[in-house]
Chains A and B, each alone.
Chain A
């Protein structure tokens, strides 16, 4: 087991190395941040001064090594635009993004799981179609449009909810709905397939043979076992929602990490973009690691397969 864990951790480190190198290169190929930091009458000396100030005059390998050295000590560099350590900015915004991510995950589960159960249990019925329709609708409307329609209806017309920003729970409702609904479809699919799998297993057939009513079989046995993969996926989805909910955060002026990334990209704020992407990667890797280990504990055969 410990060997398995060591190997998994090593994989994670390799993944993060690949990720950091890729994002490091890609942001540098998107253009020159100095072009946006200097004003129209800047002179070559001004540009050189700015380049030097931010260490952009050093060669890429040197910059990368510095970046990685700092990253290992938990420091992701200083943002060009905000003049703050990226890690500080990230953790400033993280609570907001976690709030939104959690609420959105909850909504995706609340829509996706019931819809998934209905379409697993009542295959090809009218209920199946309705449930699928509701879950798929969130995936079929571009997020920025859905967001604006929500603002128009619930803020401007009905005056129930504030348009944007953060504060109490009322601020979270619309962005979480717009974000979570998109992910509901994947929850639906996974719930359904894993329900079908469990319903087809010997163990459930046995329960049915024993004469337990359908409702009990579904509620007590099938559902419980089908949930494990669903929650695994919900975890990965949540990492994406926390770190890359760019559009929803822009529409609702939500002060989260997605907007940090958005502005970082358009300002060519290299350390910021690198930092956010590496943090997202780190979270995904950790979640995957935990899931792998958890599964290995549940099912020892997994340890031998890879």
Chain B
């Protein structure tokens, strides 16, 4: 079996290459055909959120991590993230290659793959899915793609107008964009996009049996899938209240529950037969909205550094996620492209006070508002208590989620005076996706709150560059620039803690949550349940 010849391509850093190599040796992809027939048992998953119907349609991927739960069950992609493979796990494609000039990419389809309605997966379906894609980052693909060529009945080539260095990573990371996910053209056109979301048909390991919009999705093993499917039935239920989810686990009504809140982690870990799965997820960091104004106390680098010295990252991690998160140096997680290693920041209250004295605040100062990402209010409260020890006095501002994002997107005028925002983001794919939306002047979520001109200049240079070595260098310079100047103060990586019940067969939690780029439990077909 052929693996993609990626090692030769120097655009990807050593870590990624190493991971791919490990994956290549450990992941066997068998060809056994009607594998779903042997499936047995029922797997019930209790979710922390209500289901949006768009999550069942990769054509309208919203760019968040949640929909890949459904994509990886119902649909399949040419390449995707799976296990330790970040974006290039060959799924519907048997192998692929990107031209050395990065101006085209060629995929060879696996033989004999079918959609749930029995139709074969054809290059035409791939072409349709790509060209009709209108979700997150669709404009990037549109802008850069010249045409899509069907070379033969198994081969398809994407031809770009200019070198498209990020193509594979954008294409294959399920929690960033969705054009790699193949939908059946005929069926999609026949029922239309809205009806497709009610009753989607895909080429994934599970086919839809019943769909109650927003609350329940029942799936059954698809025996035409090219990998063995273990559990016969997969049921996903939306259970918004955390305490109820834990009760379901305790009573055996659910086999996997997502998002166990901090207070319950210790207790759930002690339940008989239950395994905790603490997956490292989004990074939390402190942002000083409007610090560029010389009158703002945070304009002084020493004051920003004092904030960093005042934060007790370990106490925060211990109290909020039972110590299962990770106090961080770099807020860019190390599973994304070009992330640099950075040591954990120290805590030193005396040094923080001294820096504040030097900066002219011997008695500290008042912060108008400390606004945490909803609904992590208690993290904001802890931050306030910690800052108070060095004399920075803040008040908590809580916002409902929709209002918070609207205010972020409106920019500095919604955050006047002296402000601290404790923001949290799950960064996926490439560090640059984060920079573009959350740091750059004019970015969708950053607007005019940060605006560091020389870093933005470097970012533009990065975007224009087609030289991988130069891009890597710029990426690292920018991250270092942010960290050394405390433009942001990283706090910790949040642990998205899930729990697995006794019916699921496992040696360690990573057997059920093997995919490192996500907090969720897939590939679904690999999860085994004991037969009752």
Contact = CB atoms under 8 A, between A and B. Distances in A.
A and B found bound together:
yes
A92 B52 contact: no
Contacts of A81: 52-54, 214
B237 A35 contact: no
Interface in B380-439: 400-403, 405-406, 409, 425, 433-434, 436-438
Interface string B229-253: 0000000011111011001101101
Contact of A83 (B50, B53, B237): B53
A156 B194 contact: no
B293 interface: no
B247 A163 contact: yes
A83 B405 contact: no
B444 A43 contact: yes
A252 interface: yes
A156 B215 contact: no
Given A156-B251, A263-B214, A41 B239 contact: no
B137 to A, nearest CB: 7
Given A41-B137, A43-B139, A148 B251 contact: no
A50 to B, nearest CB: 10
Contact of A40 (B52, B197, B241, B444): B444
B248 A163 contact: yes
B198 A84 contact: yes
Contacts of A155: 247, 251
Nearest to B254: A163
Contacts of A82: 52-53, 213-214
A197 to B, nearest CB: 43
Interface in A22-55: 30-32, 35-43, 45-46
Contacts of B239: 164-165, 253
A150 to B, nearest CB: 10
Contacts of A132: none
Given A40-B425, A81-B52, A155-B247, A32 B63 contact: no
Contacts of A32: 406
Contacts, number: 127
B403 to A, nearest CB: 6
A37 B436 CA distance: 18
Contact of B240 (A31, A43, A250): A250
Given A83-B194, A156-B251, A163-B244, A40 B214 contact: no
A34 to B, nearest CB: 9
A36 B409 CA distance: 11
A5 B434 CA distance: 63
A42 B438 CA distance: 11
Nearest to A81: B52
B216 interface: yes
B194 A35 contact: no
Contacts of A38: 62-63, 444
B145 interface: no
A255 B212 contact: yes
A46 B60 CA distance: 12
Contact of A164 (B50, B248, B401, B403): B248
Contacts of B438: 40
B286 to A, nearest CB: 18
Contacts of B402: 30-31, 35-36, 266-268
Contacts of B241: 144, 148, 250-251, 253
B445 interface: yes
Contacts of A39: 62-64, 136, 437, 444
A189 interface: no
Given A39-B62, A40-B63, A89 B247 contact: no
A163 B406 contact: no
Contacts of B215: 253, 255, 259
B253 A41 contact: no
Interface string B209-231: 00011111000000000000000
Contacts of A262: 240
A159 interface: yes
B256 to A, nearest CB: 15
Contact of A259 (B53, B214, B247, B251): B214
A41 B136 contact: yes
Contacts of A152: 247
B433 A92 contact: no
A40 B240 CA distance: 24
Given A31-B403, A84-B53, A253-B238, A151 B444 contact: no
B53 A42 contact: no
Contacts of B400: 266
A43 B139 CA distance: 9
B198 A83 contact: yes
A31 B194 CA distance: 25
Interface in A252-280: 252-253, 255, 259-260, 262-263, 266-268
Contacts of B198: 83-84
B50 A163 contact: no
B250 A156 contact: yes
Contact of B244 (A41, A84, A164): A164
A45 B213 CA distance: 29
Contacts of B406: 31-32, 35
A302 B427 CA distance: 67
Nearest to A39: B63
B424 to A, nearest CB: 12
A162 interface: yes
A268 B137 CA distance: 23
**Residue of B197, B406, B438 most packed against chain A (CB within 10 A):** B406
Given A39-B64, A89-B213, A83 B197 contact: yes
Nearest to B52: A81
B50 A263 contact: yes
B197 A41 contact: no
Nearest to A53: B134
A41 B437 contact: yes
A35 to B, nearest CB: 4
Contacts of B52: 81-82, 267
A164 B216 CA distance: 13
A258 to B, nearest CB: 11
B213 A92 contact: yes
Contacts of B401: 36, 266
A276 to B, nearest CB: 13
Contacts of B237: 165, 253
Contacts of B243: 148, 151
B213 A252 contact: no
A41 B425 CA distance: 12
Contact of B253 (A43, A162, A260): A162
A159 B253 CA distance: 11
A31 B399 CA distance: 12
Given A35-B406, A84-B194, A163-B253, 13 more contacts: A31-B402, A38-B63, A39-B63, A39-B444, A41-B436, A42-B136, A81-B53, A151-B243, A156-B251, A251-B244, A259-B215, A262-B240, A266-B400
13 contacts: A30-B402, A32-B406, A37-B62, A39-B62, A39-B64, A41-B433, A42-B136, A81-B52, A83-B54, A163-B248, A165-B239, A253-B215, A266-B402
The 4 tightest CB contacts between A and B, nearest first, are A39-B63, A40-B437, A41-B437, A255-B215
Interface of A: 30-32, 35-43, 45-46, 78, 81-84, 89, 92, 144, 148, 151-152, 155-156, 159, 162-165, 250-253, 255, 259-260, 262-263, 266-268
